Amino acid sequence: MPSRNLNIILLTFCFSLLCYLTHRRAKPAMLVGDALDLIHHHYVDPIDEDRLLTAAMNGMTSILDQNCEYIPLDAYASFQDSMSQEFAGIGIYVEQPDVTKPVRVVTPLVGSPALRAGMMPGDEIIEIDGENVAKLSLKEVSARLKGPIGTVVYVVVRRDDQELSLSIDRSTIELESVIGDYRDEDNNWVYRLQDDPSIAYVRLTSFGEKTDGELRTVLERLNNDFRGLVLDLRGNSGGLLYAAVNVCDMFLDRGRIVSTRIRGGKIYDEFDAQSGTLVNLDKPVAVLIDGNSASASEIVAACLQDHQRAVVVGTRSYGKGTVQNILPLQYGRSALRLTVARYYRPNGKNIHRVLDAKPEDEWGVSPNPDMEVSLDESTLEKLSKRWREASYPSLAAVSEMQLHSDEPTRDKGDKESTSAKQGTDVETMPEGGLSLDPVLRRAVEAIDADRAIDDAPRSDAVPAAA
């Protein structure tokens, strides 16, 4: 057979194989496409194609684990903002508890253009750039407030039955993920306990792209000038795996941090601590967790616990031991959040809680012995209020105004005598976390106990091994 004919046959075979493989991959997509087309043309009522596509994608991910999801176009941008910890806007949190009423400002962020322009918690947004938005949805109002950096948005708000016109510059709004115990007079976070400044206190609210950099800056400024450190991960639902790894590496100088395994239990990646730490190894550390501490938070808590680098205090964590990748769809306009691996703590255990897991099963991260401390609803409510008002001082200012409007009139002498007895302005200093928070108190007790053991004199009677 001539070589030319052989080449033609070989080329035809390769082309046929490619067509066959393409058809196998495209067949399910054709089925979904045909169904969408039939519904679009024959269903008794008109229906939006995007809604159909979202429903189809949600149907596919519904048979996977609970951490897999389709992220549609309108939600993907917000998801990216949360991970990158920044967005373009005026810097406010908004809500709409009643869809028949205007969107309401929860609070402007510290240092935001909205705060500088005079926006306050409780303001109702009724007009944007000359358009009445009093009857628009939260999503529609948020879209109109966002825009290119450097542009101006003109907003009319209703406050106490008065309408105020505000001119607000749009800029890059950065979302902080590393916060302290309270803010100073310049609204900067103080990373020490108000009740005991010798204890460093750092709270991580998420694990985003900037978290490890933020934490590194804080620890470098503290410069180990503390007798112990509290790392508060309560309510932190996680985030980026590498951010958790980098946080652990600041406390360890060697050893396994976490490993991941893909389909079939095959080890995919292993992360080890590098030499050197930002927190001296002789500094006691306490990690606080609760039932809402998940994923990256559990990686940090489990790692520091397994290496006996920190004592874990609080209640059992959520139990999310899987790793998700964000896989772009539609040329990056939407995405699929897909579980691609499971992670394992340094002791080799997987902390993931399956759907039918029982309390007695092994999952999550549990506090160290005698370190389990739970909060009742009343205490949790008080703590949440303190954290909110510390993060957003404008909320505290509104609460203070409401407090004084409800209390009976007192003369100046009464206020001054009360302040003098307490040594500070009782109207501006929040109640300390130690007095409110039994979990925090137990953590400080554990730090002191650890230091007492380290500082205790050791007997020389024990013979040294030769």
- Active-site positions read 295, 306, 320
Cα–Cα distance between 287 and 297 in angstroms, integer?
A: 10
Cα–Cα distance between 376 and 276 in angstroms, integer?
A: 40
CA distances from 362 to 65, 279, 346, 354, 377 (A): 19, 31, 15, 10, 27
User: What are φ and ψ of residue 461, in 5° steps?
Assistant: -75, -20
DSSP summary character for residue 89: E
HSE (side-chain half, CA atoms, 13 Å) at 331: 0
Buried/exposed code over 238-248 (b: 16+ C-beta within 10 A; e: otherwise) = bbbbebbbbbb
Expressed in percent and rounded to 5, the helix, strand and coil fractions of the chain are: 40, 20, 40
Dihedral of CA 56/61/66/70: which sign?
Answer: negative
- β-pair partners for 125: 157
Cα–Cα distance between 362 and 110 in angstroms, integer?
A: 42
**Which residues lie closer than 8 Å to 297 by C-beta, 6 or more apart?**
204, 207, 233, 236, 237, 238, 244, 289, 317
Buried/exposed code over 114-144 (b: 16+ C-beta within 10 A; e: otherwise) = bbebebbbbbbbbbbeeeebeebeeeebbeb
H or E stretch covering 152: strand 152-159
CA distances from 161 to 123, 124, 129 (A): 10, 10, 21
Q: Give 407-459 as a DSSP string.
A: SPP--HHHHHHHHHHHTS-TTTSPPPHHHH-HHHHHHHHHHHHHHHHHHSPPP
What's the one-letter identity of residue 241? L
**Which residues lie closer than 8 Å to 98 by C-beta, 6 or more apart?**
none
**Inter-residue contact 214 to 189 (CB < 8 Å):** no
Instruction: Tell me the Ramachandran region of residue 301: left when phi exceeds 0, alpha when psi lies from -120 to 50, beta otherwise.
Output: alpha
**Inter-residue contact 343 to 260 (CB < 8 Å):** yes
Q: Give 285-332 as a DSSP string.
A: EEEEE-TT--THHHHHHHHHHHTTSSEEEES------EEEEEEEEGGG
